[in-house]
Amino acid sequence: MAKKYRILAVNPGSTSTKIAVFDDDLQRFECVIRHDSGQLAPFATIGEQYEFRKSVILDQLVKNGFEAASLHAVVGRGGLIHPVDGGTYAVNDLMLTDLKRGVLGEHASNLGGLIAREIADERGCPAFIVDPVVVDELEPVARYSGVPEIERSSIFHALNQKAVARRAAQARGGAYQDYRFIVVHMGGGITVGVHRNGRVVDVNDGLNGEGPFTPERSGGLPALKIVTLCFSGSVVENELARRIKGSGGLVAYLGTNDAREVNRRIEAGDSQALAVYEAMAYQVAKEIGAMAVVLEGRIDAILLTGGLAHDRRFCGWIEQRAGFLAPVEVYPGEDEMRALAGGALRVLEGRESVREYRGAAGGLR
């Protein structure tokens, strides 16, 4: 009988920690541990929370009949480390240092690798992260912006995009590396990635204002009009940044980031809600069209995923405009816990080599 691997997946958020236990690819347990403000108040930084969060995770495991001693690996959500290729990485000492320092900023996801390593060290098993948001596989030609001081960067929903691309490849009886997909993650942010033979060679920077507008982000804007706004004296830097990546898009036009609410308004005859929502789908389809050029029109499928992929109306608008390029397939929602565990399992079973993080030096050993 083939060996079974028990894997703990840890996905920290700003006020909660989601955990799941898998035996191979079978999920045995999942829960969301909420952390109220009083519990987190004593910690000056997010990085200082990892001991507290680790202890509550272990408590939950014991309460639900899972001992840490039974684990074969612990995998955490990847944080804001230096850019890396996609894949499964061992949480080494250099990664620990960079996560604690917050080399690219403080974020709850930085706790994923810290907690995974701490629990794994006590158990004597490996700790991993999988496809963090800083995955950067852009081709050199994709890095040019038109202004030498500004290089295009890759920040996108790597974990879910790559997991969905693997699912689509498996459904076709092949490997991720065999196909050419355009994958569209549609949630609070929207990223459209070109997956060519296992690498994301181009993608809009969903955090810093590229691509379509989204439920809460502005997307790409006319540059000179932004310059004028910056020097008009009517807005300050933090406010403008919020309008670009927090209160733009649907929030700016309709006062909500909830697509269900937008659909309710459309059903009630709200013409403004209909116009704005369809415009968002139009911009997503237009971004897909731009990415089709990167693949020279040879596309195996366009894959729609994320929370908005549950919305048939929205996906239908996209398919209506972009469906001539390639078959459109819908993978609603996102299953980050299964994606994390899957990355660890591929390494444990020898189907994929573990990668080594080298920090600012980049590359792989």
* pLDDT tens, residue by residue, 201-260: 999 998 888 999 999 999 999 999 999 999 998 888 988 988 898 899 999 999 999 999
Q: Which whole number is the average pLDDT over 81-108? A: 94
Token pair of 251 as six digits: 């929030």
Q: What is the DSSP string of 174-232?
A: S-GGG-EEEEEEESSSEEEEEEETTEEEEE--TTTT-SS--SS---S--HHHHHHHHTS
Residue with token string 């092949």: 174
pLDDT of residue 334: 87
Identical fold for domains 6-135+337-361 and 158-333, yes or no, is yes
Hey, what CATH topology would domain 158-333 get? Nucleotidyltransferase; domain 5 (3.30.420)
pLDDT of residue 8: 98
Query: What pLDDT is stored for residue 2 in this prediction?
Result: 64
Average pLDDT for 335-351: 96
* Domain ranges within the chain, ordered by starting residue: 6-135+337-361, 158-333
Distance from C-alpha of 93 to C-alpha of 314, rounded to nearest angstrom: 44
CB 289 within 8 A of CB 325: yes
Average model confidence (pLDDT) for the chain?
Answer: 94
Q: Is the pLDDT of residue 152 over 50?
A: yes
Say what the pLDDT of residue 364 is: 42
pLDDT of residue 46: 86
Report the amino acid identity of residue 267. Answer: E
**Alpha-carbon distance 246 to 275, whole Å?**
21
User: Span 164-181, mean pLDDT?
Assistant: 98
Which comes out higher in pLDDT, residue 174 or 237?
174
CATH superfamily label, 6-135+337-361: ATPase, nucleotide binding domain (3.30.420.40)
Of the ranges 39-48, 265-274, 311-320, which one carries the lowest mean pLDDT score? 39-48
Residue 365 pLDDT > 70, yes or no?
Answer: no
DSSP H helix total and E strand total for the chain: 12, 12
**Kind and range of the H or E element at 344?**
helix 336-348
For the stretch 21-72, pLDDT in tens is 999 999 999 999 999 888 988 998 888 898 999 999 999 999 999 988 999 9
Q: Give the up-direction half-sphere exposure of residue 328: CA atoms within 13 A in the CB hemisphere.
A: 21
- Is residue 11 within 8 Å of 338, Cβ to Cβ? no
* pLDDT value at 1 more than 80: no
pLDDT top residue among 330 and 16? 330
